[in-house]
Amino acid sequence: MSTLHVLSHSPFTDSRLSSCLRLLGTEDALLLCGDAVYAVQPHSLPCDALEQQHARLSLFILDEDLQARGLECPDWATRVDYATFVELSLRYTKVNTWL
Amino acid sequence: MLQSLLIISRQAPWSGPGAREALDIALAGGAFDLPIGLLFMDDGVFQLMPGQNAGALQQKDLTANLQALSLFGVEDLFACKDSLADRAILPAGLDAETIKVLPADEIGALIDRYDQVITL
Amino acid sequence: MKFAIALYSAPHAPSSRRALRFAQAVLASGHEIVRLFFYQDGVHSASNSIVTPQDEQDTAQQWSDFVNEHKLDGIVCIAAALRRGVLNHEEAQRYQRPAANLDAPWELSGLGQLHDAVQAADRLICFGGP
């Protein structure tokens, strides 16, 4: 069993990312979209926290939200389009969006 | 084979209709005899506090809906231990018979046990 | 594979547009959408009374076009909709309100339709928040 967790809130104003990381299992993955992609703002606290965990973290980022915000995808994450988002939602046994 | 559904309620009871509408999903599922679990996490654990007074805000009392859960067959109730600890809510104040307190590192396994999940 | 898609945000929220793009990609990938279910503020994404400036995206209209084009089952939660003033003709008459702002392809129905969709689908995908 595995879960794709989807976040769209900015990690700078919201606790969802830290709550999610607290319960993320080794088979699980994280997809950042919307303002949640600010988590990969280089040298920021959330970015450093994610980078520290990257060896055991499958991290995907919605490409259009990176582009809109002028952010780069770190080499320890994977940028995805909607077709891949759909594919990921089937690769993992369930999807948990943090509304 | 029925698909089981875990509802994770993260909203405080006084931040709008969110908490009530999360409970409504659980109650509707129970009414259809579906396997439903309900986990209170983050600010959602504030729904479990004793001594709340909905009348002070001219609101309806959410605890009636909480008590209705078992009548609708929703008996798998959980609360996140870390969320309780962060907010200095003593698990002793909760009804331990009906709500199981789980540490955050067991919540991943709880989510694994259900077929689908809704986090509100 | 069969998808149930639940939307919890108004059409001006980026997540409403994101849900639409995801739903379009589901069909483009050859999968099926068994039901769209709009709940909480998602009921506004089915309103037909939204006026957006001409140079801005009209996400509610795009949702309606998408559901029509693919003949999808688009359900709006009736309790959430009434609470937020999203009414079809029948409900506007019932509660003596001056206007209806929901019509075909959308249908008002209860939360049981969300559970029914969960049972029918291989995946439930929710969109909401920002």
* pLDDT band at B94; cut points 50, 70, 90: low
* pLDDT band at B16; cut points 50, 70, 90: confident
Among positive and negative, which fits the CA dihedral B120, C1, C2, C3?
positive
Tell me which chains share at least 3 CB pairs under 8 Å with chain C.
A, B
How confident is the model over B60-67, as a mean pLDDT?
A: 83
Nearest chain A CA: its distance from C73 CA (Å): 19
What is the Cα–Cα distance from C62 to A97, expressed in whole angstroms? 23
**β-strand partners of C33:** C3
Encoded tokens for B112? 């694994």
For residue C83, CA distances in Å to C22, C44, C53, C86, C102 come to: 27, 11, 27, 8, 14
CB A79 within 8 A of CB A73: yes
C77 is catalytic: yes
The proportion of chain C whose per-residue pLDDT surpasses 70, expressed as a percent, equals 100
* pLDDT band at B93; cut points 50, 70, 90: low
How many CB atoms sit inside 10 A of residue A64's CB? 17
Prediction ipTM score: 0.96
Contact A22 B120 (CB under 8 A): no
- C82: amino acid identity, one letter: L
Look at residue B91 and tell me whether its pLDDT is greater than 80. Answer: no
Nearest chain A CA: its distance from B49 CA (Å): 21
CB contacts, 8 Å: C79 with chain B: 24
Look at residue B96 and tell me whether its pLDDT is greater than 80. Answer: no
The pTM is what?
0.95
Tens-digit pLDDT profile for residues A78-92: 999 999 999 999 999
Which of the residue ranges A60-69, B57-66, B80-89, C31-40 would you say has the lowest mean pLDDT?
B57-66
Burial class (CB in 10 A: 0-12, 13-18, 19+), C90: exposed
Tens-digit pLDDT profile for residues B21-63: 999 999 999 999 999 999 999 999 999 888 888 889 888 888 8
Tens-digit pLDDT profile for residues A4-44: 999 999 999 999 999 999 899 999 999 999 999 999 999 99
Which residues have CB under 8 Å from B103's CB, separation 6+? B80, B81, B82
Nearest CB neighbour to B28, from listed C40, C115, C126: C115
For residue B35, CA distances in Å to B9, B25, B32, B73, C119 come to: 17, 12, 9, 9, 11
pLDDT given at position B92? 60
Residue of A nearest to B116 (CA): A94
Tens-digit pLDDT profile for residues C39-89: 999 999 999 999 999 999 999 999 999 999 999 999 999 999 999 999 999
Quote the longest CA-to-CA distance of chain C.
44
List A residues 13-52 in contact with C (Cβ-Cβ < 8 A).
33-35
Catalytic residue among C77, C80, C86, C114: C77
Which of the residue ranges B95-99, B114-118, C23-27, C110-114 would you say has the lowest mean pLDDT?
B95-99
Of B61 and B107, which is predicted with more confidence?
B107
**β-strand partners of B77:** B38, B99
Burial class (CB in 10 A: 0-12, 13-18, 19+), B35: middle
